A and B are shown apart, each in its own frame.
Chain A
Amino acid sequence: MAEHPSPSKPPWKPIPFSGAFAFDADAVATHWVRLHACDAQPLPPDDAARRAWALYHQGEFRAAFEAGLRLGGAGATVANKACCIYANYLEPSEPVRLALFLETAERARLQAVQEPLNPAAWYWQAYALGRYSQGISVAKALAQGLGQRIRGALERTIELQPAHADAHAALGAFHAEVIDKVGPLIGRMTYGARKDVGLAMYRKALDINPDSAMAHLEYARGLIMLEGACQNTEATRLYQRAAAIEPMDAKERLDRDLARAELHD
């Protein structure tokens, strides 16, 4: 598995609402189904992994990441998720953020080699590469051939776990981003991106997990990309819905706060 994080790496920024979510291994187990409505991740059988997840759900992303890495294969998913969520929501430096996504993509790729039937290995590979691609600009990423890898990993995730809500939202975002950046014709011919498929994916994500602030936010962004300003009213409705969701853990709170910032601005 991947090496332990180097102590020379800069510390991670804390969440702005430290202490708002208290979880221990037991609480994580009790609320597992709701906490993982986003990804249908199975509850880990051992206590150490549950403790790592407790750190993640509290928003102690660095601690969760390190605990996950120490656990090896059993902690790979929590380490990758903690790293991606931190990078996406909290890391202020663009180069550090991109490096975190690349490192995660590589760890998840190795995880998928070890456990090809584990949907999380494919999903975090796709998520990390997808966010990395957005970060370097989607056009550049497509030119580097990342499009097929992201799409393939997301489709594999859904094949292995049809109830993976976040993978549906991410696949929706893939279709929307490709069409937005290269146009519907090239998008369809070269990358198989289609507006109707993209929109259907977002809706499916919301069907599976109607309380996902993230899926609402992504759908709003995708609608504007695919349909333009004529969808502003619908996007506002989605932001309002996302802003009203009661968050269950730190990551959900980050999404909810993002939606609120959108409406309050």
Chain B
Amino acid sequence: MAKKAPRRTAERILEVTLELFNRFGEPNVSTTLISAELNISPGNLYYHYPAKDELINSLFDRYERSLSELLNASDNVRDVEDAWFFMHTLFELIWQYRFLYRDLNDLLSKNRRLETHFQWVLKNKTRAVKAMLDGLSRAGSIDIDSREVDATATSMVVVLTYWLSYEYVRDPRRALEPEHAQVALLRGAHHVLNLLMPYLVPAQRQHLLSLVTAYDQGNG
């Protein structure tokens, strides 16, 4: 028998569960489906994850860890190009864990850990966006009255958080399928950054418009 590190099964269960949750939505994925998809016995699944909530929590913990690392990079944003890259990376991470956003209210109402930790996620996102605005401001890329920072940051976080729900409502059958990832993410990044338009200095404003145009043509 090959000598292997344990937890490989636990890892594989998590990977497949994430895929199924993203594809069908967490409420529509039963443990029966997960064990069938993995071709393992129910006992084997329960051994590692006795409750579906534990699968959700483990996936959320991973998301939260990756998000924290990424958000810490926000104070390095100096111009529109950095901001575009930052938002796009953020949307890519959200896309990887889109099941959380797709059924957010449902998950919050039944999972205590998500109920408490998602508030932290929002706060952390807001803090990061404010750091980004601060960086852009110090670099002279935007000109924003300090009294407008809070509201702008909040608006950006709302668009960031609910963009995929918006995409989903527009086209429930296809919006969250992998082949739509690229265009959905670009649209999201565009709309979040568009909230900066009134504050961007002219050259930066032109640059954002040209980025948007380039991507629009690319996906035309």
Contact = CB atoms under 8 A, between A and B. Distances in A.
Nearest to A221: B47
A94 B6 contact: no
Contacts of A235: 6-7
Nearest to B5: A232
A264 interface: yes
Interface in A204-255: 217, 220-221, 224, 229, 232-233, 235-236, 239-240, 243, 254
Contacts of B42: 89-92, 97
B146 interface: no
Mostly helix, strand, loop or mixed at chain A's interface? helix
Nearest to A229: B7
A118 interface: no
B73 to A, nearest CB: 27
B3 interface: yes
Nearest to B12: A265
A262 B6 contact: yes
Given A92-B42, A243-B1, A261 B9 contact: yes
B2 interface: yes
A71 B11 CA distance: 44
Mostly helix, strand, loop or mixed at chain B's interface? helix
B6 A134 contact: no
Contacts of A261: 9, 40-41, 44
A137 B6 contact: no
Contacts of A72: none
6 contacts: A91-B42, A92-B32, A135-B51, A137-B53, A140-B53, A265-B12
Nearest to A254: B43
B51 A137 contact: yes
Interface string B36-74: 100011111011001111100100000000000000000
Interface residues of A, number: 37
B112 A90 contact: no
B31 interface: yes
Contacts of B53: 136-137, 140
Given A92-B32, A224-B6, 11 more contacts: A92-B35, A92-B42, A94-B32, A135-B50, A137-B54, A137-B57, A140-B53, A232-B5, A243-B1, A260-B1, A265-B4
A133 to B, nearest CB: 9
A134 B9 contact: no
Given A135-B51, A264-B1, A94 B43 contact: no
B8 interface: yes
A136 B1 contact: no
B155 interface: no
Interface of A: 16, 88-94, 97, 131, 134-137, 139-140, 217, 220-221, 224, 229, 232-233, 235-236, 239-240, 243, 254, 257-258, 260-265
Given A89-B41, A91-B42, A258 B47 contact: yes
Nearest to B57: A137
A217 B31 CA distance: 21
Contact of A94 (B2, B31, B40): B31
Interface in B1-25: 1-9, 12
A263 B40 contact: no
B210 interface: no
B164 to A, nearest CB: 26
A7 to B, nearest CB: 23
B4 A236 contact: yes
B218 to A, nearest CB: 41
Q: Which 3 A-B pairs rank lowest in CB-CB distance, beginning with the nearest? A: A134-B50, A89-B43, A137-B53
Nearest to A139: B112
A131 B113 CA distance: 21
B30 interface: yes
Nearest to A89: B43
Contacts of B35: 92
Given A88-B46, A257-B41, A264-B1, A94 B9 contact: no
